[in-house]
Amino acid sequence: MRRIILAVVLALTVSLVLAPLAAEAQQEGKVHRIGYLANGNVTTSGPFAGAFRQGLRELGWVERQDFVIEYRWADGNLEQLPALAADLLKSPLEVIVVAGGPGVRAAWQTTRTVPIVSALMADPVATGFAASLARPGGNITGSAVQFDALATKQLQMLKETVPKATKVAILLDRANVNEVLVKSIEPALRALALKGRVFEIRDMHNIEAAFQTARAERLDAVYVSPSARFGRHSGRLAELGMNYRLPAIYEDKLFVEAGGLMSYGPSFIELYHHAARYVDRILKGAKVGDLPIEQPTKFELVINLKAAKSLGLTIPESLRIQADRVIE
């Protein structure tokens, strides 16, 4: 009888010890499904997706063994984001990665339960996505940029580059107007003794008309506001700036690489790479509403000296020494 009792006790003990290990092994063997909703296409947004996957690999995740990603590409057509988000959520996803206000809103309006990690968004408290940065409380977290401060810095750099400038063309994407940014532009212009002429771009096919008007009205420079659609047409916008001899500042270095004058903004590669850390914590059991929304710390200044020379400008030494990259 004692032997039987000891055998039963031993069996129970072993089962209690092995049960958590078995559950852990089962969790480790699970293939997690991640949704990825992109404003651009494989060409324009591919490097960002690559940075996100690289971030997961550095955290020990193996693609197709530990996770798979379901992609949806808007190809710059932001009005398609709600339908793409709905289609994406037909799959049993554990987390969705997005970037930008329209993408975040499209995902948020589709689900209030699946965690959403935004690589980049405007003030999530002002837009109603989160209760606070420290404790979002809902199903959205990630990185948020202070676009008002960014716009002020960009205009300062533009004025420093074109010191005689008094009038600036402000290009806004009508499909994605950042109200926080818009409200910050007027006081920033006033502080720099500049006057702004706002152009709301509704159709990229007619973007040249804005540059024609800016040139005809003898505006001195152009500020191109952050926009996924503008980013998709970075080459065209850079070309128009040079053709109409209007110095311009952009948010993304893609414009400068395409021939534009200068850009200043957060490192998008770094932001997508950082998004992997949020996904890692969520897949390991963290509650999305408890993960603080962070602000990027790395910003990039890229200057095209060839474009500056073509425009008859001399880049101030104060900006050259700040530049993360100078294109000769």
Q: What is the DSSP track for 223-285? A: EE---HHHHHTHHHHHHHHHHTT--EEESSHHHHHTT-SEEEEE-HHHHHHHHHHHHHHHHTT
- The band of 200, judged by pLDDT with boundaries at 50, 70 and 90, is very high
Most confidently modeled range among 72-76, 126-130, 146-150, 307-311: 307-311
Average the pLDDT over each of 20-34, 129-143, 225-239 and give the range with the smallest value.
20-34
Q: Which amino acid is at 223?
A: Y
What's the confidence (pLDDT) of residue 28? Answer: 58
Look at phi and psi of residue 92 and say left if phi exceeds 0, alpha if psi is from -120 to 50, else beta.
beta
Q: Which amino acid is at 170?
A: I
Q: Out of 17-21, 44-48, 57-61, 284-288, which region has the weakest mean confidence (pLDDT)?
A: 17-21
Please tell me whether residue 142 adopts helix, strand or coil conformation: strand
Q: Beta-carbon neighbour count of residue 233 at 10 Å?
A: 19
Question: What is the token pair recorded at 275?
Answer: 């998004």
Give the whole-angstrom CA distance, residue 180 versus residue 199: 17
Give the pLDDT of residue 26: 35
Q: Could you give the domains of the chain? A: 30-145+268-298 (3.40.50.2300), 147-266+300-327 (3.40.50.2300)
DSSP state of 204: G
Tokens 């003030």 sit on residue: 123
Tens digit of each residue's pLDDT (9 = 90 or more) over 291-320 = 999 999 889 999 999 999 999 999 999 999
pLDDT at position 298: 86
Structure token pair of residue 234: 């970075």
Q: What is the DSSP string of 51-64?
A: HHHHHHHHTT--BT
| Other CB atoms within 10 A of residue 238 CB | 24
pLDDT at 12: 39
Percent of the chain at pLDDT above 90?
71
pLDDT in tens, 43-59: 878 889 999 999 999 99
Crossing angle of the two packed helices 207-216 and 234-243, in degrees rounded to 10:
20
* pLDDT at residue 122 tops 50: yes
Most confident option among 11-25, 28-42, 303-317: 303-317
Residue 20 has pLDDT above 60, yes or no: no
**More confident: 177 or 120:** 120
What average pLDDT does the segment 115-128 reach?
A: 92
Confidence check: pLDDT of 211 > 60? yes
Average pLDDT over residues 248-264: 95
> What's residue 183's pLDDT?
81
Residue 1 pLDDT exceeds 60: no
Residue 125 CB partners (closer than 8 Å, separation 6+): 131, 132, 133
What's the pLDDT tens digit per position in 77-104? 888 999 999 999 999 999 999 988 889 9
Residue 11 pLDDT exceeds 60: no
Q: Has residue 280 got a pLDDT over 50?
A: yes
27, pLDDT greater than 80: no
The stretch 137-152 carries a mean pLDDT of: 92
